[in-house]
Amino acid sequence: MKKGLQTGNVRVGNLSIGGDSPVVIQSMTNTDTLDTEATAAQCRRLFDAGCEMVRITAPGMKEARNLENIKNRLVQQGYTGPLVADVHFLPEAALFTAGLVEKVRINPGNYCDRRTGKTDFTAAERLAERNRIRERIHPLLERCKENGTALRIGVNQGSISERMTALYGNTPEALVESAMEFIGICRSFDFHQMVISIKSSRVQTMDKAVRMLSGRMQEEDAAYPLHLGVTEAGNGEDARLMSAIGIGSLLADGIGNTIRVSLTESPENEIPAAKAILRAVEHLQALPEKERDCSCLRLEGKEISEQQKVNAAVHLGRLMLQGKKDGFEIKGEQKEAECKILLDNIMQAAGIKFHKTRFIACPSCGRTKYDIQKALAQVKARFPDYPNLTIAVMGCIVNGPGEMADADFGYIGCGNGKVNLYRKGNLAKAAVPEAQALAELEKLIAGL
């Protein structure tokens, strides 16, 4: 792959992210973090598949402490790839894991900001909040410095702080300002070992925000490595096409240093999907400029291979994100209908034309207390043909409601065989037995 935009270099254990380093592939476990054997086994499978860095959720202190057992187990078995602790709300867990693993991920909107329902902030209130964040994050930065631990600042559209939303709305600007505020605070403490991500389940938002952030960082001479991913992409071909467009378009333009393809499937499946995107970017970059910007693709062979689909998504999706709306064509020896379906699916994934229901689903993690993969398959099978609707299937009631806030309907398993159903971000039916959840969701969609 061609060399990307120059960024600083961040060391994460035995890996280097940014600078002249190749793009790093990462993933996240979805086992219970308290289950040492299952989590270590999944980490091993991920590393064996070519994953270079594995993230593990640490929602509380018990899980944070168990990362030590998981790490020790892996080292005993000869696996020394870096681990990342995913901490959302608990500064104590972040502090603890910063002395243990190679990188800690925090989400500014969850880690430091209080949710009060406020929609208006005076300048004095904004300053007070910023000072509170500085105080709260300072010990973590010091702990990271002492231990050579890297930090990922992971901003998600579903969890932007109320302060940022009040100023910028739920926009790419709010995502960028949220990231820039944190970068500024870290820099003011002379902390630079950070990787930044901005994620959204909407490819267009993610693309726009990451490009804006990359530009802002270059302008301010603060070019930290970027982690790319489309969040809540779901499963199957649709998720792979969305990720290919979101991640591939940026990489093709030299933006991005580490990637994760989030799938509501076994995490091990994320690695070949990520490798396919890297191959597709190399393929696109090798084309002469005129061909690269051509919106008509010709596919060789009698069947459309998975790699050809990803290549087509990166190639055409990038043009769609640049603003081109029509004139797209996919042709080849394959049946015309198959080429048309692929093009329709790429347009849907790029968010420029919808021909079927838009599903979003988180990849799940140690917080998930039900079989989300089965639930997603059932929801997709039952409600396939609502091009004007977005239906979310999420893994937990802690982060799920916020992360799916722009969905029309939501389905979240809460454990003990119960499901919460949401309409326009609000809880509509609580603790529905799983066996009745699809029928209840159907009633909600029908407006009954």
Where does residue 218 fall: left (phi above 0), alpha (psi -120 to 50 degrees), or beta otherwise? alpha
The Cα angle at residue 169 between residues 166 and 173, in degrees rounded to 5: 110
Stretch that binds ligand SF4, among 96-104, 108-116, 302-310, 357-365 (CB under 6 A): 357-365
Q: Which residues contact 62 (CB under 8 A, 6 or more apart)?
A: 34
Stretch that binds ligand SF4, among 181-189, 253-261, 302-310, 393-401 (CB under 6 A): 393-401
Give least dist CB 352 to ligand SF4, A: 27
Regarding 403 and contact with ligand SF4 (CB under 6 A), the answer is yes
Size of the site for ligand SF4 (CB under 6 A): 13
Give least dist CB 38 to ligand SF4, A: 16
Sign of the Cα pseudo-torsion (313, 315, 316, 321, in order): positive
**Measured distance CA(32)–CA(37) in Å, rounded:** 10
Per-residue contact string for residues 306-325; x = within reach of ligand SF4 by CB under 6 A: --------------------
The Cα angle at residue 365 between residues 57 and 18, in degrees rounded to 5: 60
Regarding 55 and contact with ligand SF4 (CB under 6 A), the answer is no
Out of 101, 250, 362, 375, name the contact with ligand SF4 by CB under 6 A. 362
3-class SS of residue 444: helix
Regarding 395 and contact with ligand SF4 (CB under 6 A), the answer is yes
Give least dist CB 323 to ligand SF4, A: 31
Give least dist CB 399 to ligand SF4, A: 4
Q: Which two tokens stand for residue 329?
A: 């064509």
**Measured distance CA(375)–CA(412) in Å, rounded:** 9
Out of 43, 100, 393, 394, name the contact with ligand SF4 by CB under 6 A. 394
Q: Which is nearer to ligand SF4, 256 or 400 (CB)?
A: 400
**Measured distance CA(32)–CA(38) in Å, rounded:** 8
CA-to-CA separations, 319 to 55, 322, 427, in angstroms, rounded: 32, 5, 38
Q: Is 358 exposed, middle or buried (0-12, 13-18, 19+ CB in 10 A)?
A: buried
Out of 4, 248, 363, 410, name the contact with ligand SF4 by CB under 6 A. 363
Per-residue contact string for residues 208-247; x = within reach of ligand SF4 by CB under 6 A: ----------------------------------------
Out of 396, 419, 421, 438, name the contact with ligand SF4 by CB under 6 A. 396
Widest CA span of the chain, in angstroms?
65
Question: If you search the block for the tokens 């207390």, which residue do you land on?
Answer: 369
Give least dist CB 411 to ligand SF4, A: 12
Q: Which is nearer to ligand SF4, 304 or 376 (CB)?
A: 376
Regarding 26 and contact with ligand SF4 (CB under 6 A), the answer is no
Indicate the DSSP class of residue 264: S
Out of 108, 225, 229, 400, name the contact with ligand SF4 by CB under 6 A. 400
Indicate the DSSP class of residue 186: H
Question: If you search the block for the tokens 């270590």, which residue do you land on?
Answer: 40
Regarding 365 and contact with ligand SF4 (CB under 6 A), the answer is yes
Q: Which is nearer to ligand SF4, 88 or 309 (CB)?
A: 88
Give least dist CB 194 to ligand SF4, A: 21
Q: Which is nearer to ligand SF4, 235 or 399 (CB)?
A: 399
**Measured distance CA(138)–CA(122) in Å, rounded:** 24
Regarding 364 and contact with ligand SF4 (CB under 6 A), the answer is yes
Give least dist CB 397 to ligand SF4, A: 8
Regarding 368 and contact with ligand SF4 (CB under 6 A), the answer is yes
Q: Which residues contact 63 (CB under 8 A, 6 or more apart)?
A: 33, 34, 57, 93, 366
Q: Which is nearer to ligand SF4, 257 or 399 (CB)?
A: 399
Q: Which two tokens stand for residue 160?
A: 């932007």
Stretch that binds ligand SF4, among 168-176, 180-188, 278-286, 397-405 (CB under 6 A): 397-405
Question: If you search the block for the tokens 């005076």, which residue do you land on?
Answer: 122
Asked if residues 152 and 106 have their Cβ atoms less than 8 Å apart, the reply is yes
Q: Which two tokens stand for residue 103?
A: 């990188």
Give least dist CB 390 to ligand SF4, A: 16
The strand pair at 83-87 and 103-106 is best described as parallel
Nearest residue (beta carbon) to ligand SF4: 395
Give least dist CB 333 to ligand SF4, A: 41
Helices (H), 160-296: 162-168, 172-188, 203-219, 236-252, 270-285, 289-292
Q: Which is nearer to ligand SF4, 52 or 403 (CB)?
A: 403
| Interface positions with ligand SF4 (CB under 6 A) | 362-365, 367-368, 394-396, 398-400, 403
